[in-house]
A and B are shown apart, each in its own frame.
Chain A
Amino acid sequence: MADMSVIWLRVAAALYSLGLLHAILTLVRRRENLFRVALGAFSIGAVFHFVSIMEEGLSTHHCPITNFYETLSMCAFLVVVLYLFIHWRYRLESLSVFIFPLVFVMVLVATMGNPVSAWTSPVIRNAWLTVHIVLVLLGYAALLFTAVASLLYLFQERQLKSKKPRKLSYRLPPLGTLDDLISKSMTLGFALMTLAVIAASTWAFIEHKEAWIKQPAIAISFFTWGTYMALVFLRVTAGWRGRKAAIMTVTVLGFSALTWAAHARLGVLLKP
């Protein structure tokens, strides 16, 4: 990618990051007071994004969809335009919780097409990786909590639906309490995982240069993160509870386990 194009794209990514912040705050605090700011930043980000794409097209003299990064940037831009249109037409604020983080991560990945200079010191390299591992483990713990609470919820829901509550159900927490626990741990897990994904992609990008995106382990991570985001989105907008939510959470947990397995040799990379 052309250098100027990447710079514009980075500016756009920085503006889109406000959208991510908005999404996380909305989930954690259940208030949407940052939305207007995030939407403003999102719109300005779209302008820079457009400039970046034009720049790329002009400097390479072809439509900028020839490699993965260009295509990703283009795709993210189309999502942005589509979202802005939908928002203008239907005012679907809740969709932003889903779209903003997605666009941010897509654009962040797209900026990583050009190799930058290698690690300045091994200490920074190791610290960075350690931060990623810690964030991801905390995220897994929160996700595990969510999954266990979801299964308990499912069990308790069945009991109440069957109208023959057995003795065990008296020992289980009420649905309301479990629901609260699920919301909190799920959101916390999502925030941690998102930060972990950002840390990891940056690390992998510097480590492996432009070839980083071709690693299957990284593709799996992005896929898992995507399913997690879908889970959060369905819960926040459609209020998915009970059976559907439990199946979804366990699926995400399964993908997370797979991702972990794919990264089993990550510790080896922590070298002095």
Chain B
Amino acid sequence: MKLLLTGVSHKTAPVEVRERLAFREESLAGALGALKGRVGVSEAVILSTCNRVEIVLTTEDSADPQAIVDAFLAEQKAVSPPTIEPHIYRRQGRDAIHHLFRVAASLDSMVVGEPQILGQLKTAYNAAKSSGALCGWLEGLYERAFSVAKRVRSETGIGQMAVSVSYAAVELARKIFGSLENRTVMLVGAGKMSELAARHLRRSGASHVFVTNRTPERAAEMAALFQGTPVEYTRFVAMLPEVDIVVASSGAPHYILRKDDMQRVIAARRNRPMFLIDIAVPRNIDPAVNQIDNVFLYDIDDLEQVVNANLRERMKEAERAEALVLEEVDRMMARLKVAEVTPTIVGLQEQLEQIRASELEKVRRRYGPFTPQQEEALEALTRGIINKVAHGPITALRSHSAQPDGAHVVAAIRKAFHLQD
């Protein structure tokens, strides 16, 4: 059996190449059928996302998987090999397994640790399975890849931290309030950025959105988006004691919230914490506000700093994840080697059993017939002998299979016992 992974990704190919090779969802079943139908192909999976296209297949030992894939691509996508060749990567055997595990664990993603790729891989797996292109070994490999991804996610912090500004804001809000249920949000200024932040906050459970803006029509429009309440711009500060999270993004050229304003607000709130997000440039909220107890003010740079710190943290976690993936690849390879010696073990046992049966038959012809007791004794004696004889070589096969000299040991044992190839 041969395993070959052929693909292009955002790291090796520009979008012009990737889009030419991509398979649309509705054409995937047909393509899988065509690939599986080629001579020599045992199993096949096609993964096609906006960032990568990968074709994984196993073939019989006699087939040439690379030629099969090239012919398949030429037929399906009408691409000439020389134009795409520089962008394509091909991985075989252990390297293919390693690559697959890394992709599943989101170590090869554009944003390392983003979980979407695992879902896409599962979709590709299900598509291959339902169109009958997966039926055995490769299926096991994918299942292994999913559990490796799961292990990486639970044992490293690779997917834990927000790596976009608006998600970082939501995550910080969660750090302050715990649950966002029943928390109220005030948008000061009705821009695109604040809309995005409000959408994330609302999705995370925030109960009500107030919107204020210099032009009241725009405030009303935005409030309607979130079933919220527009608030008059001149009196929004008076509303603040009711509000837990403020997203400021107005175009005001000066501070619209100062320290003494906020001191009054927080006193009126009896010191219940408040989260102020200032994504306006120039800033809307006096930075001195952050000195007030129970007020947490983050401006756009602070949020970006959090995102960068999270990204660095992810990179650190990714290193741990790489080690984990390698460990899993080694384990998989060891398992494969053990599976490779299984036919030899079975052959050896069959060989010995055959010898035993024919020798027993000879004895019966010469000295038989025997009483049931005698039959039983002979049976036990001969079976005991062949088990003892087989024990040594079987143990050697099992223990040496995963080692570098394994192939020699297997060959020697096959030769010694006259096992047919």
Contact = CB atoms under 8 A, between A and B. Distances in A.
Interface of A: 156, 160-161, 163-165, 167, 169-170, 173-177, 179-180, 237-244
Interface in B280-328: 290, 293-294, 296, 298, 302, 305-306, 309, 313
B273 A241 contact: yes
30 contacts: A156-B175, A160-B172, A160-B175, A160-B176, A161-B296, A163-B298, A164-B305, A165-B175, A167-B157, A167-B313, A169-B175, A170-B160, A170-B161, A173-B178, A174-B174, A174-B178, A175-B178, A175-B273, A176-B177, A176-B273, A177-B178, A179-B273, A238-B270, A239-B269, A239-B270, A239-B272, A240-B271, A241-B293, A241-B294, A244-B293
B80 interface: no
A169 B296 CA distance: 15
9 pairs of A and B residues whose beta carbons are closest in the complex: A176-B178, A239-B271, A239-B270, A174-B178, A177-B178, A176-B177, A163-B302, A174-B175, A175-B176
A47 B298 CA distance: 56
Contact of B309 (A165, A175, A243): A165
A176 B179 contact: yes
Contacts of B290: 161
Nearest to B275: A160
Contact of A176 (B157, B176, B296): B176
A85 B301 CA distance: 53
Contacts of B177: 174-176
Given A160-B296, A175-B177, 12 more contacts: A163-B305, A163-B306, A164-B309, A167-B157, A170-B160, A174-B174, A174-B178, A175-B176, A239-B271, A239-B272, A241-B294, A244-B293
Nearest to B176: A175
B265 to A, nearest CB: 13
Interface of B: 157, 160-161, 172, 174-179, 269-273, 290, 293-294, 296, 298, 302, 305-306, 309, 313
Contacts of B172: 160, 165
Nearest to A163: B302
Contacts of A242: 293-294
B241 to A, nearest CB: 12
Contacts of B270: 237-239
Nearest to B310: A165
A156 B174 CA distance: 12
A239 B296 CA distance: 16
Given A165-B309, A175-B175, A175-B273, A243 B293 contact: yes
A163 to B, nearest CB: 5
A160 B176 CA distance: 8
Contacts of A170: 157, 160-161
A240 B298 CA distance: 23
A267 B174 CA distance: 47
Given A167-B313, A175-B273, A180 B176 contact: no
Contacts of B160: 170
Nearest to A169: B175
A7 to B, nearest CB: 42
A244 B294 CA distance: 11
Contacts of A161: 290, 296
B164 to A, nearest CB: 16
Contacts of B298: 163
Most chain B beta-carbon neighbours within 10 Å: one of A163, A167, A180, A241 = A163
Contact of A241 (B157, B271, B306): B271
Nearest to A94: B270
Nearest to A180: B178
Most chain B beta-carbon neighbours within 10 Å: one of A175, A179, A241 = A175
Nearest to A237: B270
Contacts of A175: 175-178, 273
B95 to A, nearest CB: 33
Nearest to A165: B306
Contacts of A164: 305-306, 309
Contacts of A167: 157, 313
A260 B273 CA distance: 35
B168 to A, nearest CB: 10
Contacts of B302: 163
B48 to A, nearest CB: 35
Nearest to B301: A163
Most chain A beta-carbon neighbours within 10 Å: one of B272, B294, B305, B313 = B294
B235 to A, nearest CB: 24
A161 B346 CA distance: 67
Contacts of B179: 176
A161 B290 CA distance: 7
Contacts of B296: 160-161
Contacts of B174: 174
